[in-house]
Chain A
């Protein structure tokens, strides 16, 4: 059996999205800035795609800036809001401890440039406390940036309430919605969002293309200088094929969202129950407020990379927050942020599937994880110490 269970990393492109791109490589390959026919046809397609994307997000087409993906959108949103804030003497930014690195590293850079950064605790359930947010907002707060859904553990924040608080306090609110858009309902108007980042390859669209939504009236600066594309807000010849593929993938995912969610939820919960049954394992992040297809567990006594490699041998592609997979000495900052001790965070596993997943595959995943965890524990001196009482357990049986 071959199961791709790493859809939070990236997804397989849908046939429909690929088909939507091809004409813009083979026939209508003109530069949208060119005045002759294939240029203008590309321009028409681009503007039509903008309308379609805007419709899904419930905003105006002119509020959509096409980017190279989620990281660029995050960088532009945060740097831009920081610059706007600094012009008014506001140099305080609020975020959370478990944001994507596209956000955290941008904030770190701003901190070096003299901004003050407050990172809100996400508690053991992976959720922001609204009261703590309210208390953190100051007169000099330039921006609140909080991710819609976490990429590692899949917890979904109360974005609408967060947006409402920011609006009431007159603070610009950005959300990295890379994991959320097309997976759960996202409505920038109802959710009180000023700026939002999304990325096409997380919902069966192409890589290298994304969106920064900027609400009308919210000033935005360029990240990339050059031509007058994207109403002067993002220079560079537009990635028309990518944008066409993204628009198609976004529409399709949105149209089937209700049906897909109904299919996914019972399977996700079956997977959670199945992995929960493994002794000394624990789900990471809130059980309810989570994406419909992302499950993240910690298993005591084992290391995540070897778990992944043996699952790969069984045909399952997954990911882990262990240090060995991150290329650093520390395990995932997300798992540390929700209070997992290092030794447990090393033994994490993220499974993220899509709507094609079947119950048979979920059963196979549960069985395989069980087998591999047991096998690795049997050769682990750490596990031996836990079982002989030489070291205390972190989780209960």
Chain B
């Protein structure tokens, strides 16, 4: 199908890191049901500030699911500081591009990850 790149379709058909982390220490959710997409990111960050594990749940279209999958792959095993710098453009590029009207899906991924890290940081500072 020409609408999406092969990488998008691969991550959509075989999404990486789907699920929930029961003992996550950072959770972020972005989007809303009315708009038709919600992305939820679960992070397990260790004492060295490394993202040991990451999982996602997504309600959304092909590119939303593929963006979640790709974004989680890109931050897995990375320091928190690096994950904070992940841009939606980088996610879209790694997916070999998204259709113009689907770029917001990659923004959701970036925002959900940022929210999860913020959640982790606020928990830590408590």
Residues of chain A whose beta carbon lies under 8 Å from any beta carbon of chain B? 301-303, 305-306, 309-310, 312-313, 322-324, 327, 329, 331, 341-343, 346, 379-384, 391
Contact bitstring B92-113, A, C-beta under 8 A = 1, else 0: 0000000001100000000000
Interface centre among A313, A324, A342, A380 (most CB of B within 10 A): A324
CA distance A324 to B66 in the complex (A): 14
B59 with A302: CB separation less than 8 A: yes
Which residues of B have CB within 8 Å of A306?
A: 12, 60-62, 64-65
Residues of chain B whose beta carbon lies under 8 Å from any beta carbon of chain A? 1, 12-13, 15, 18-19, 29, 33-40, 56-62, 64-65, 101-102
A303 with B64: CB separation less than 8 A: yes
Which residues of A have CB within 8 Å of B1?
A: 309, 312
Top 7 nearest A-B pairs (CB, nearest first) are A343-B33, A382-B59, A346-B36, A305-B61, A324-B61, A381-B40, A380-B59
B58 with A331: CB separation less than 8 A: no
A382 with B18: CB separation less than 8 A: no
Which residues of A have CB within 8 Å of B58?
A: 379-381
Question: Nearest chain B CB to A345's CB is how many angstroms away?
Answer: 9
**Residue from B34, B61, B102 within 8 A of A322 (CB atoms):** B61
B59 with A313: CB separation less than 8 A: no
10 A-B residue pairs with Cβ-Cβ distance under 8 Å, sorted by A, are A302-B59, A306-B65, A312-B1, A331-B36, A342-B33, A342-B34, A346-B33, A346-B36, A379-B18, A379-B19
Interface centre among A306, A324, A381 (most CB of B within 10 A): A381
Question: Nearest chain A CB to B79's CB is how many angstroms away?
Answer: 26
Which residues of A have CB within 8 Å of B18?
A: 379
Which residues of A have CB within 8 Å of B19?
A: 379
Interface centre among A301, A313, A382 (most CB of B within 10 A): A382
Which residues of B have CB within 8 Å of A331?
A: 36
**Residue from A310, A324, A327, A382 within 8 A of B33 (CB atoms):** A382
B36 with A383: CB separation less than 8 A: no
A381 with B57: CB separation less than 8 A: yes
Which residues of A have CB within 8 Å of B61?
A: 303, 305-306, 322, 324
B36 with A342: CB separation less than 8 A: yes
Question: Nearest chain A CB to B45's CB is how many angstroms away?
Answer: 20
CA distance A346 to B33 in the complex (A): 9
**Residue from A303, A312, A313, A329 within 8 A of B60 (CB atoms):** A303
**Residue from B13, B33, B57, B62 within 8 A of A305 (CB atoms):** B62
CA distance A346 to B31 in the complex (A): 14
Which residues of A have CB within 8 Å of B33?
A: 342-343, 346, 382, 391
